[in-house]
Structure 1
Amino acid sequence: MNVFITGGTGLIGQAIIHRWLPEHQITVLSRDAGRVKSLFGHDVACCEQLEAVDINRFDAVLNLAGEPIANKRWSKQQKSRICQSRWQLTEQLSIKIQQAHKPPSVFISGSAIGYYGRQDQRCIDENHQDFYPEFSHDICARWENLAQRAASERTRVCLLRTGIVLAANGGALKKMLPAFRLGLGGRIADGSQYMSWIHLDDMVALIDFLLSHSELSGPVNATAPKAVTNARFTELLAERIKRPAFLPMPAVMVRLLFGEMGDLLLYGQNVYPKKLLDAGFQFSYPDLREALLQLKL
């Protein structure tokens, strides 16, 4: 296949490109052609301007671009950057696909389990409609709606509602591990909030699965089938790196340090990947202990 990717230099983007090479031809949208070359050599083409892309050339489009949601405190300006970095590019891609005389057969576009907003402890799947109205939902709802505009009889759209991606050299663990290695880790508040996670290898595998399974479209929960509470996650991570984790962070401290963004830490969702499992996808790491053991931490 000839595949066009945005966000190809990110954690998930790099991993999926390395999986797809050399089977597929890949073009990455990036303003930093030097970084693309340093990561992938001459095996991956780079395009610096979306306006120059002929979308008719591609069999599939994978849209992973977006300002990291948890890197900075949510000021008004940062909220705008988070939203626009997702919305503008996704809208432009959808328009290109709509206008193409030979559109790609599949458009796989990023989203997040933040779409559901904060939830209680019940297990929810893609059919869940009782969303909590907050910033994370607002981001994802518009993001998904813009991507869905590309859907037609010739193009199916898959929306990746991604959980916490676990990887040895990036993502959430990269931010968490320094404190845990110093013995300063601990549960957040009472630790009862659920964390829906996925191993990077399974994230890559399910994107590959979506590429070839034409029966799948719409929202797809990109999470392992066994979410855990924050307290359990903390326990297993401490066990994995052989460090104590007995310093809980009170909710008041979370709000003081992170402001509104702290809600991502204090509230969660117990998300179940029903669509993938019903379609026959098999997770290599459905259990958190096994996932952490596999990672070189």
Structure 2
Amino acid sequence: MERSRIAVAGASGLIGSALVRSLTADGHEVVRLVRRAPQGADEVRWDPGRQYVDPAGLAGCDVVVNLAGAGVGDRRWTPEYKRLLRDSRVRGTAALAEAVTALAEPPRVFVNGSAIGFYGETGDRVVDEDAPPGDGFLSGLCVEWERAAAPVREAGVRTVFLRTGLVVARGGGAWARLFPLFRAGLGGRLGDGRQYWSYIALHDEVAAIRHLVDTDTLSGPFNLTAPEPLTNREITAAMSRVLRRPAVFAVPAPALRAALGEMAGDVLGSQRVVPRRLLESGFRFAFPGIDEAIRAAG
């Protein structure tokens, strides 16, 4: 991709910060959306909860990437936190959609975050991008999140949805909690361990986003997951193997429900999601297997 001006919402998060590093290393001009007063020409003021973004800051952007949203696993899902999870995604996306469609020269592509939570519980069933949405809070949230970007697509801007799985990284997400436990020898399976986890290495997540940005023929939803999902039991064994630590502890399902509340359903649920459209587009994973993804995360 030629040197471009790229706006990134959620630039301080796990994926966003890695994406910004990758883009700036290749000479692209990155504009970060911030919730405070901008401190330079590379920052744009926005407030996703209030559905506001300064449209002038998006002028001249070739690409807009929206990765913003409160952390799903950061707190118990109280009614107040569920409202924050929704507003930070749906209202933020709606604000960006309104700003983008108002530009005299809109960007050539709008990339919007989403998640494999879209599919709900899938058990042992393999699902790809053609599968319908599932049930539950996360599924409904993902549906609303993607729907909020509809005005951009209707305005003729190529629109891509990133249905991201569990990102293997030390700096955030589920694995940020798993690595310290396993390094201390306290790791183990969650529940019965038979639930499928659809994971992706952080390196491949960023590479996939850039591939989707650069390929003008691609639009719609893409599952950002490694080619072969594994069970929690298999991933537990891989963590033990790669980190050379025992994994003898197990957290019973009732204990998880007591500790996490409604969010435990996401931890114990099974999602066997595959990246069919991403593979068909020619993307090649650098770290497709769990052992190499764990090693890449360090």
Which TM-score tier does this pair reach, normalised by the shorter chain? over 0.9
The aligned runs of 1:184-203 (5 Å cut-off) are 184-203=186-205
Deviation at 1:262, TM superposition (A): 0.3
Query: Are 1:24 and 2:28 matched, yes or no?
Result: yes
Amino acid at match of 1:98: T
Other structure's SS at 1:247 match: coil
Deviation at 1:31, TM superposition (A): 2.4
Gap regions ≥5 residues in structure 2? 47-52
Contact 1:163 1:223 survives alignment (8 Å): yes
Match of 1:48 in 2: 45
The aligned runs of 1:48-127 (5 Å cut-off) are 48-49=45-46, 50-51=53-54, 53-127=56-130
Distance in 2 of aligned mates of 1:174 and 1:32: 27
Distance in 1 of aligned mates of 2:99 and 2:55: 11
Question: Deviation per CA, 1:236-263, whole angstroms, max 9, x where unpaired?
Answer: 0111111111111111111111010001
TM-score, structure 2 as length reference: 0.92
Distance in 2 of aligned mates of 1:244 and 1:87: 42
Other structure's SS at 2:43 match: strand
Deviation at 1:274, TM superposition (A): 0.7
RMSD: 1.7
Match of 1:292 in 2: 294
Deviation at 1:100, TM superposition (A): 2.1
Contact 1:125 1:271 survives alignment (8 Å): yes
Amino acid at match of 1:231: R
Distance in 1 of aligned mates of 2:153 and 2:128: 22
Amino acid at match of 1:256: A
The aligned runs of 1:142-291 (5 Å cut-off) are 142-152=144-154, 154-291=156-293
| Residue 33 to residue 164, structure 1, CA distance change in 2 (3 Å) | farther
Distance in 1 of aligned mates of 2:180 and 2:90: 33
> Which region of structure 1 is more displaced relative to structure 2, 137-146 or 184-193?
184-193
| Residue 48 to residue 181, structure 1, CA distance change in 2 (3 Å) | same
Contact 2:101 2:155 survives alignment (8 Å): no
Question: Deviation per CA, 1:3-35, whole angstroms, max 9, x where unpaired?
Answer: 11100111111111111114211100012579x
Other structure's SS at 1:67 match: coil
Contact 1:103 1:154 survives alignment (8 Å): no
Question: Deviation per CA, 1:192-246, whole angstroms, max 9, x where unpaired?
Answer: 1000000010001011101111111111101111110000011101111111111
Deviation at 1:71, TM superposition (A): 0.7
Deviation at 1:169, TM superposition (A): 2.9
Gap regions ≥5 residues in structure 1? none
Deviation at 1:52, TM superposition (A): 5.0
Deviation at 1:53, TM superposition (A): 3.2
Other structure's SS at 2:153 match: coil
Other structure's SS at 2:16 match: helix
Distance in 1 of aligned mates of 2:149 and 2:224: 17
Distance in 2 of aligned mates of 1:136 and 1:31: 25
Deviation at 1:101, TM superposition (A): 2.1
Contact 1:235 1:245 survives alignment (8 Å): yes
> Which region of structure 1 is more displaced relative to structure 2, 163-172 or 68-77?
163-172
Contact 2:190 2:232 survives alignment (8 Å): yes
Other structure's SS at 2:104 match: coil
> Which region of structure 1 is more displaced relative to structure 2, 185-194 or 162-171?
162-171
Deviation at 1:179, TM superposition (A): 2.1
Amino acid at match of 1:162: T
Deviation at 1:54, TM superposition (A): 4.2
Amino acid at match of 1:160: L
Distance in 2 of aligned mates of 1:29 and 1:7: 7
Distance in 1 of aligned mates of 2:37 and 2:28: 20
Other structure's SS at 1:27 match: strand
Distance in 1 of aligned mates of 2:135 and 2:293: 32
